[in-house]
Amino acid sequence: MKTVTVELRSKNALRLLKELERTNIIRLLDKDQAKKNLSSLRGKLNLSEAQYSDFQKDIKKSREEWERNT
């Protein structure tokens, strides 16, 4: 599934989103919870800031190489 960020521009927007969630079309995530899930990998790897940055660069490079080769 794909996660997106939405800016609510109407008073009815949240109500409509909650209705979509109730019908199992979407799932609403708490912003803090979404950030926690994304950063949980770093905690599991137990890396320093520099190590994590290098790790991210390596992953990005691997993805770019994979896209070129496919």
The per-residue pLDDT for 40 is: 66
Domain boundaries, position 28: 13-69
4 compared with 40, residue with greater pLDDT:
4
In-domain check, residue 8: no
Distances (CA, A) of 57 to 49, 60, 65, 66: 12, 5, 12, 14
The per-residue pLDDT for 1 is: 75
Q: What is the pLDDT of residues 6-58, one digit of tens each?
A: 889 998 999 999 999 999 999 998 776 555 555 666 677 777 888 888 988 99
CA distance 17 to 4: 13
The per-residue pLDDT for 42 is: 67
CA distance 31 to 19: 19
Domain count, the chain: 1
| Residue tagged 């992953």 (tokens) | 59
In-domain check, residue 55: yes
In-domain check, residue 4: no
How many residues in the chain?
Answer: 70
The per-residue pLDDT for 49 is: 81
